[in-house]
Structure 1
Amino acid sequence: MSVLITVRELIQVGGFDDSAVLAGEAFLDKELLGVTSFDSPDGHRWLRPGEFVLTTGFPFLSHQKTCAKRLITLIDELVEIGTPGLAVKLGRYIEAIPEAVITHATKHAFPILSFPMDKAWSDVIVPVVQYINDKQRIELDRTHAIYERFHHYLTGGEPISTLADLLFDILHAPVSIQVPHLKWKWDSSPLQLPEDHSWDKLYGQRAPVRLTHEPLSRLNEGPHIRWLLQDQIVQGAIVIGQIERDLYTWEKVAIEQSAALLSLEMQRQRAIHETLQRFRNDFLQQLVTGQIPSYDVLIRKTDEVGWEISDHYIAMIISVSPHDKTGMEIWQENHYLLDALRSLVSSNEAILYGLDQENRVLLLVPMPDPVCTETILQWLHEQCLKLISNKLHQPVFAGIGRFHPHREGIVRSYREALISFRTALQSVNSTVEPMFCLKSFHTLGLERIMYADDPATEAQAFSDECLGKIQSYDRDKNGQLLQTLQVFLQADGNYTEAARRLFVHKNTIKYRIQLIREWTGLNAENGHDQMLLRIAITAHVIGHRP
């Protein structure tokens, strides 16, 4: 452990006169590791950074006169090495330091002292070494006391929330401990922070390389910050204010001990949370697959995972792109995605969230009625996907199912969300990949059949949903919409031919096709919609064959 003293302390310990400072008086707080001497022209080649130099100046004479040029060159070389200063024994070989040398030294923040003629090198080196040793002993004693204090704190069972007060007592400076995702905000006393501070924007982000190597730093002459990292993600920080100097070793030890305790507690909380999340994931999977047999079992399971169940939900699936990634990479990145989402959705305790069996993020968003769907979609689009994709610095894909009432509706909404998600993945232009892509099931056409697990089953479901409205109208109004649609499609959309086959006027066909459009939202004259109606008719005919 290296203990540093300043040039100012060297002047006091070494017994220099008050008038000893010849140059660089404003830089006497420069730190040094030790003191050495040399009187050879190339003696500086064997200096270590941080060594203060004593010299008679003999190598820098030229024809018995002080050579300013040589001294200026020496100063440049010492500054480059990292030498904190120079003391010259004036009167032996050099009577006075030239003004040009003093000006050059001051310009380069390099103190020059006058070494007393009546002193030997050892009169300075020995007391300085003794002073450093004493200071190092004090540092070691203080550091040992810090370790002892934290040992008693740890074994005494003190709550982790009192750690800010402990650090305040040690550092005599206000301390704030912040870990947003665990809702930790512990302040020892009011902390005056710069108005333009922006370090809290790093929370939840991947840590820059500089933070992984130097987690303790000082921000722009402001507070000292010890970043709290886990898996290279910035989880929080210890913020220390009102220390306008470099920290002592024992102070750094106290901060590092605090960071270690906080890291252990975060890991413990993470283990507890991950265990709970696994139970929640299993519960979500049972919900979306309809495996919960009774209402009593449902209530018991929701109590076990700490949730409250709502009457109606819409399902949403979110994931990073699985292309060119292994299963483990997808699992890890979607865990990051879930952690990032948690801070956004945790404010709404009614939202159920976790990972499905394919390790995609699954949200069940409570939906009072279908009218609220657009509001929820806008929130998910603007507040979730945009923010999350920017936070993770990679594209995010999402699919949303429709509103279906009651617990049985969750299964249908999840199936639709899955189809929407697959559509989102496939709809992206490979050359220009957006930062997020959201697809909603109610906007899908052929995709809902193309990307279904079982296209035939989905086609039948679409047929029942689409043609069921037409059949309902026919029953209530004694109409002929379904027959008209079949004939119209068989006639390839030709109104005249359809009218001839049904023995009605062409305008009657047009009126009925318009009614079909109003009831189904599909235009039988449009190529895409006509294809969907043909699939619906085909599935209807196949489904009603004996």
Structure 2
Amino acid sequence: MFVTCKNILNLPGLEKMKVVAGKGGLNKVIRWVHVTEVPDVSNWVKGGELLFITGVAIGNNTELLMQFVKDINMRKLAGLVINIGPYIEKTPKEILDFADNVDFPIFELPFEVRLIDITQNICRTIFTEKLEKESMSNFMREIIFEDVNITEEMLSRAALYGYNENKNYCALVVDIDNFRLYLKENELQDEDTISNIKNRIQETIEYVMYKNNKKCLYTMQSDAFFFMVPMEKENNNIDYIAETIKNQINKTIGFITVSIGIGGICNHLRGFNKVILEGRKALEMTKFYKKDDCIINYKDLGIFRLFFEINNHNEMRKLFNENLLKLKKYDEKNSSNLLQTLIVYLRENRNLGKTAEILYIHRNTIKYRVKRIEEILNCDLKDEEVIFNIKLCIRIGIFLNLIK
């Protein structure tokens, strides 16, 4: 569960706090709470805070209050609570109109209510939520990455974190693209900065799940986030959720992209590690194809799924060498690109025109290259069995990183 501007109103002791503007933004997540009387907050807010003011420094200066509200809205704060009393008698209409237009939540709280009680209550809720998430993450790390027996006790613990044995769960693995390279290029070594980036990504993913009413079980390890997403039998919208996560991270963080591997679906806690592994294998294919910012589903891997199950790759390498090594060596010796031409030609179902268009060369050049390929490989590219073997070896070459 997230602590949001909306659900804090249900906390005990907050009965007298009411929303007066910006109701469209009540789903904003509250990361912490501050009480301030200083109009300039730019040096100490990080985003996501809920601010409380009594108005000692601002008073009934509408212009100064407007500047303050615009500033904290621009800095992505969660909302503002105005202590209505001797300093600010009521929230000016101009402020309310602005907050409504930008969906920035503004609350009013009677002056006689003790701020310390309210802020402690909210902070306690945030802290408790954080501890629960850490506990669940440790539990899920044990389930996914360690060889453990699923006992009744573990099932009971899982239920405390929202696990429902009557639901199916789909694995989602979200990996930060080239994160180590990004840190190196930007000379980022500070652990707090690195941790902050990861936390922002995790919070973004959690928020997408929250918006889609998904009570997920999840953990993080290294640069990847592992989610088990409950699925409704009548509506498996995992592709939509994955796309939303990818786009939202691009939108909110900007300098970071992620790739997402979708694993299979299971209906018991003991199957979580298996379908998470499928999601990780799907992500490996993005590395083979050197793709970033993409989504790949394990069920769409086709023959690559068989490759992952083969522990000894010697026979695969031998098959590649028998069918394509001569062409690869010819390219290396002559600085040509016949192997790439062959890959495109087969991908386009041996259509000379489309192949020429993709490679930006003349159709006759493609005809010459195809003939030269047949000579080097001593094969007939009209023979369907030959085509099958070559296509298979192309995939082996990609899988074993023999084709760049």
In the alignment, is residue 89 of structure 1 matched against residue 83 of structure 2?
yes
- The unaligned stretches of length 5 or more in structure 2 are 151-167, 172-215, 217-227, 244-253, 262-278, 382-404
Distance 2:97 2:329 in 1: 64
Give the structure 1 partner of residue 10 of structure 2.
12
> Is the deviation greater in 77-86 or in 17-26?
17-26
- Aligned mate of 1:399, from 348, 369, 372: 369
The structure whose Rg is larger is 1
SS of 1:46's equivalent?
coil
> C-alpha distance in 2, partners of 1:153/1:31?
36
Distance 1:138 1:416, change over 3 A: closer
Total equivalences in the alignment = 269
1:126 is matched with 120
Q: What is the match of residue 67 of structure 2?
A: 73
Deviation at 1:146, TM superposition (A): 2.1
Give deviations 1:362-401, integer Å, cap 9, x for gaps.
xxxxxxxxxxxxxxxxx34146x258648xxxx9895244
Give me the CA root mean square deviation. 5.1
Which residue of 2 is the match for residue 58 of structure 1? 56
Q: Determine helix, strand or coil for the equivalent of 1:78.
A: helix
Match of residue 26 from structure 2:
28
Find out whether 1:167 has 2:211 as its counterpart.
no
1:230 is aligned to 287
2:40 paired residue number: 42
Rate the CA distance shift 1:9–1:411 in 2: closer, same or farther, 3 A: closer
SS of equivalent residue, structure 1 residue 54: strand
**Residue 269 in 1 paired to residue 291 in 2?**
no
Alignment counterpart, residue 214 of structure 1, candidates 245, 258, 263: 258
Deviation at 1:275, TM superposition (A): 3.9
2:31·2:48 contact (CA, 8 Å) conserved in 1? yes
Tell me the residue number matched to 1:493: none
Q: Is the 8 A contact 2:5 2:30 kept in 1?
A: yes
The CA deviation at 1:8 is: 1.3
Which residue does 1:110 correspond to in 2?
104
1:400-458: CA deviation from partner (whole Å, max 9, x where unpaired): 449xxxxxxx86984999xxxxxxxxxxxxxxxxxxxxxxxxxxxxxxxxxxxxxxxxx
Distance 1:389 1:273 in 2: 36
**Residues 277, 124 of structure 1: alpha-carbon distance in 2 compared, 3 angstrom cutoff:** same
1:75 aligned counterpart, secondary structure:
helix
**Alpha-carbon distance in 2 for matches of 1:56, 1:411:** 85
Task: Please report the TM-score for the alignment, with normalisation by the length of structure 2.
Answer: 0.51
Taking the TM superposition and a 5 Å limit, the aligned residue runs for 1:176-195 are 191=236
Task: Give, in whole Å, the separation in 1 of the partners of 2:333 and 2:231.
Answer: 44
Question: Is the aligned partner of 1:136 residue 2:130?
Answer: yes
Maintained 8 Å contact 1:337/1:388: no
Q: Deviation at 1:52?
A: 0.9
1:278 aligns with 2:317: yes
Structure 1 residues 24 and 336: CA distance shift in structure 2, 3 A:
farther
Give CA deviations for 1:39-93 in whole Å, capped at 9, x if unaligned.
13334543222111011012222xxxx1211111111111122211111110131
**Sequence identity (%):** 15
Q: Structure 1 residues 413, 281: CA separation in 2 closer, same or farther (over 3 Å shift)?
A: closer
Any conservation in 2 of the 1:319–1:334 contact (CA below 8 Å)?
A: no
Query: Residues 261-290 of structure 1: CA distance to partner in whole angstroms, max 9, x if unpaired?
Result: x9xx8696398796445323443489x9xx
Any residues of structure 2 matched to 1:524-539 within 5 Å, and which? none
Higher relative contact order (CA 8 A, sep 6+): 2
**C-alpha distance in structure 1 between counterparts of 2:147 and 2:366, whole Å:** 44
Q: Structure 1 length normalisation: TM-score?
A: 0.39
1:381 and 2:352 correspond = yes
Letter in 2 for 1:80: M
Q: Quote the Cα distance in structure 2 between the aligned partners of 1:412 and 1:22.
A: 77
Asked if 2 retains the 8 angstrom alpha-carbon contact of 1:35 and 1:51, the reply is: yes
Going from structure 1 to structure 2, the CA distance change for 1:190 and 1:25 (only over 3 Å counts) comes to: closer
- For 1:270 and 1:18, locate their aligned partners in 2 and report how far apart those are by CA, in whole Å: 61
Do the aligned partners of 1:16 and 1:116 also contact (CA within 8 Å) in 2?
no
Instruction: Indicate how the Cα distance of structure 1 residues 120 and 342 shifts in structure 2: closer, same or farther if over 3 A, else same.
Output: farther
Q: Which one-letter code corresponds to 1:33 in the other structure?
A: R
How many Å apart are 1:17 and its aligned residue?
3.1
Match of 1:381, as an amino acid?
L
Instruction: String of CA shifts for 1:145-170, please: whole Å, max 9, x gaps.
Output: 322222368999xxxxxxxx652794
Change (3 A) 1:268 1:10: same
Alpha-carbon shift at residue 112 of structure 1 (Å): 0.9
Specify the code of the residue in structure 2 equivalent to 1:167: C
Q: Is the 8 A contact 2:17 2:110 kept in 1?
A: no
Q: Residue 94 of structure 2 corresponds to which residue in structure 1? A: 100
Classify the secondary structure of the residue corresponding to 1:399. Answer: helix
Contact between 2:32 and 2:48, CA under 8 Å: does it hold in 1?
A: yes
Matched to 2:63, the amino acid is K
- Specify whether residues 104 and 190 from structure 1 end up closer, same or farther in structure 2 by C-alpha distance, changes over 3 A only: closer
Superposition pairs of residues 428-447 of structure 1, within 5 angstroms: none
Once residues 380 and 296 of structure 2 are traced to their aligned partners in structure 1, the CA distance between those partners, rounded to angstroms, is: 45
1:380/1:57 Cα in 2 relative to 1: closer, same or farther (>3 Å)? same
Q: How big is the shift at 1:129?
A: 1.7
Structure 1 411/44 Cα, relative in aligned 2: closer, same or farther at 3 Å?
A: closer
CA 1:340 to 1:415, structure 2 compared with 1: closer, same or farther past 3 Å? Answer: closer
**Mapped partners of 1:274, 1:387: distance in 2:** 36
Paired residue secondary structure (1:125):
helix
1:349 corresponds to: none
User: Which consecutive unaligned segments of at least 5 residues does structure 1 have?
Assistant: 157-164, 175-187, 200-209, 218-224, 240-257, 289-316, 346-378, 403-409, 418-546
In 2, the alpha carbon distance for the partners of 1:73 and 1:42 equals: 10
In structure 2, what is the equivalent of residue 151 of structure 1?
145
Distance 1:414 1:23, change over 3 A: same
Match of 1:31, SS?
coil
